[in-house]
Amino acid sequence: MTILVTGATGYIGGRLAARLLADGRRVRALARDPRRLTSLAAAGAECVAGDVLRPESLPDALAGVEVAYYLIHSMGMGRDFAARDREAAANFATACAAAGVRRIIYLGGLGQSAAALSTHLASRQEVGDVLRGGPVPVTELRAAIIVGAGSASFEIIRDLARKLPVMICPRWVRSRCEPIALDQVLDYLVGVLDEPRTIGEVLEIGGGEVLTYQDMMRQCAAALGKRVRIITVPVLTPRLSSYWLNLVTAVPMSIARPLVEGLRHDVVTTDHRIRAWIPVEAVNFRQAVERALAEDHAGPLASRWTGAAGRVTPGAATRAILRDDRMVPAKASAAELFAVVERIGGTAGWFYANWLWRARGAIDRLLGGVGMRRGRRHPLRVVAGDPIDFWRVEEIVPGQRLRLRAEMKVPGTATLEFEVLARGHGEGAFLIQRAEFEPHSRWGRAYWTALRPLHALVFRGMAAGIVDAAESGHGAPHPRTRGDARQSSR
């Protein structure tokens, strides 16, 4: 049977697709940009293009599919994420019915429907209702915090426990939660495929251990070899709490706030039928944390919350593209030069004035943006869709071109492109560097104009630093305080 996995670039979707492939299943992975699914394609998945907000893109993706996993949500893409999720789920349910799909499997969120749930939790449950509005039977699994390396919820707890010996927290840290290990979630998602009793059911999954959020932070701190003191106060609102998390943890405001609002509610399983139908390994919270920390330390993660790229919204652009172009000759070969380009960002830095890049990232965090804390997925290689600090890889042509799109808070659309051209046999190469900015208003044009002198300094130094690193045979930048006289502006 052909199984479609939507959200294949996301945290759960990528790992689920890999698990299904390892089990010998026939997997079709869906993404807006299939180039981001190179690892799944190499493992044997059929990777197709499709967008649940563009219904016309779904029939081909769903042709011949018997079971479809729906693992998509828009949290972090603006305040209207709930309306966007309703539309997406309705489009998908209609397309599945038209394609003859026999079953939809959806991963939603725990929470008692009778309670006044947060927008995030209510939206997750509403998506299940919308999917069930079609004729295709739906299996909905509802989970609370998923404990695994790369999970946004887990990274919040880990970062707080790691950095703060004393925490002043709101009362929601006393809310009760039943966390679940990542491996348990994947076991249930795969297990329901072969358990007919789960068809058409809403089932709750949890790790079996009920804790408060302060309990979880203390246990996480203990696993890190630290101690934490938690002081609760009644005056911290969800907005203030999310501002604080935005500054202290790796998770930006757009994700922190809906998560914090959901923490006010108890999220504990009350229906335990699935435990009898699909036995899974027992994993308590401390064990799940230790596994996640071990994977964190082992190297690049198989997937992380940063993998799901936000949708580009052009806004009211003026269509006037503002540019900074550089072309620098290099004695290094084109291959050596591009190898340095591909390592840009993360721990390698930006090859000139890294303190200015960090300052820009800090300002972005203060404004509620992603800042510089996402780093890179892999220190040497990138694929389309990868985050690099506050950029996203929009396109990569190996050995030739890398194009990044800015995801920091800016009044327009910003891109940064690097192209490498060979100069001839044994004669080195050229680095062509292009920064482009499309302002969305008069403020956007004023922003670019005000920063033009600084941009000129940084972009000139960055291009020279990349060439220096390639010529010296090192992927890390040399200390520099001035631009390179060899550079010319195109």
Q: Could you tell me the CATH number of the domain that includes residue 407?
A: 3.30.530.20
What DSSP character marks residue 43? Answer: T
Q: Among residues 362, 304, 331, 358, which one has the least CA distance to residue 431?
A: 331
pLDDT at 368: 80
Q: Which two tokens stand for residue 84?
A: 């966007």
Q: Is the dihedral of CA 247, 248, 252, 257 positive or negative?
A: negative
Task: Tell me whether residue 76 is in a domain.
Answer: yes
The arithmetic mean of pLDDT across residues 47-68, rounded, is: 95
Looking at the structure, tell me whether residues 32 and 155 fall in a common domain: yes
Contact criterion met (CB below 8 Å) for 483 and 460: yes
What is the average per-residue pLDDT within 174-203?
95
Is the residue at 315 inside a domain? no
The sheet with strand 103-109 has its strands ordered as 46-49, 26-31, 2-5, 67-70, 103-109, 138-143, 202-204
Last residue of a domain, one of 307, 341, 366: 307
pLDDT tens profile 8-21? 988 899 999 999 99
Position 329 in a domain: yes
Q: Give the pLDDT confidence score for residue 114 in this predicted structure.
A: 53
- Token readout for 12 is 């759960």
Q: What is the DSSP letter of 200?
A: T
The answer to whether the beta carbons of residues 480 and 465 sit under 8 Å apart is yes
CB under 8 Å to 39, separation ≥6 — which residues?
18, 383
Confidence category of residue 318, pLDDT binned at 50, 70, 90: very low
- One domain for residues 300 and 209: yes
Contact 17, 41 (CB under 8 A): no
Any domain includes 314: no
Q: Are 172 and 248 in contact (CB under 8 A)?
A: no
Q: Does 442 share its domain with 350?
A: yes
pLDDT exceeds cutoff 70 at 319: no
Q: Is the pLDDT of residue 447 over 70?
A: yes
Beta bridge partners of 108: 142
Query: Are both 288 and 371 inside the same structural domain?
Result: no
Judgement on whether residues 69 and 165 belong to the same structural domain of the protein: yes
Mean pLDDT on 319-343: 88
Per the prediction, the chain carries an average pLDDT of 86
Domain range enclosing 70: 2-307
DSSP-assigned letter for residue 479 = P
Q: Is 196 exposed, middle or buried, given 0-12, 13-18 or 19+ CB atoms closer than 10 A?
A: exposed
Distance from CA of residue 349 to its chain's centroid? 20
What CA–CA distance (Å, rounded) separates 9 from 34?
9
Q: Look up residue 143 and give its two tokens.
A: 């989970």
Are 335 and 195 found together in one domain?
Answer: no
Least confident of 150-154, 282-286, 295-299, 406-410: 295-299
Same domain, 162 and 219: yes
Where does a domain end: 307, 330, 351? 307
Q: Is 11 within a domain?
A: yes
In this predicted structure, which of 5-14, 55-64, 69-78 has the lowest mean pLDDT?
A: 69-78
Count of domains forming the chain: 2
State how far the Cα of 63 lies from the Cα of 53, in Å rounded to an integer: 18
Q: Is residue 483 part of a domain?
A: yes
DSSP H or E run through 223: helix 213-223
Question: What pLDDT, in 10s, does the model give residues 128-145?
Answer: 999 999 999 999 999 999
Name the band, by pLDDT with cuts 50, 70 and 90, for residue 374. confident
Q: pLDDT at position 228, please?
A: 86
Asked whether residue 313 is assigned to any structural domain, the reply reads no
Domain C-terminal end among 249, 284, 307: 307
Question: Residues 238, 360: one domain?
Answer: no
**HSE-up of 107 (CA within 13 Å, CB side)?**
27
d(CA 254, CA 359): 20
Are 70 and 136 spatial neighbours (Cβ–Cβ below 8 Å)?
Answer: no
Q: Does 316 score more than 50 pLDDT? A: no
Residues 462 and 419 in one domain: yes
Summarised one tens digit per residue, pLDDT across range 401-426 is: 999 999 888 888 899 999 999 887 77
The single-letter code of the amino acid at 23 is: D
Position 23 in a domain: yes
**Does one domain contain both 134 and 270?**
yes
Q: Which of 270-279, 312-321, 448-457 has the highest mean pLDDT?
A: 270-279
Question: What whole-number distance in Å separates Cα of residue 271 and Cα of residue 260?
Answer: 25
Together in a domain, 364 and 282: no
Non-local (6+) Cβ contacts of 215 within 8 A are none
**DSSP state, residue 198:** G
- Go through 336-367 and write b for each residue having 16 or more CB atoms within 10 A of its CB, e for each that does not: bbbbbbbbbbbebbbbbbeeebeebbeebbee
Share of the chain above pLDDT 70, in %: 91
Token pair 């220190």 is found at 379
What value does the mean pLDDT take over residues 331-352?
93
The answer on 361 and 296 residing in a single domain is no
pLDDT value of residue 474: 64
Q: Label residue 38 by pLDDT band (50, 70, 90).
A: confident
User: What CATH number is attached to the domain comprising 250?
Assistant: 3.40.50.720
Give me the residues paired with residue 169 across strands: 232
Q: DSSP state, 5?
A: E
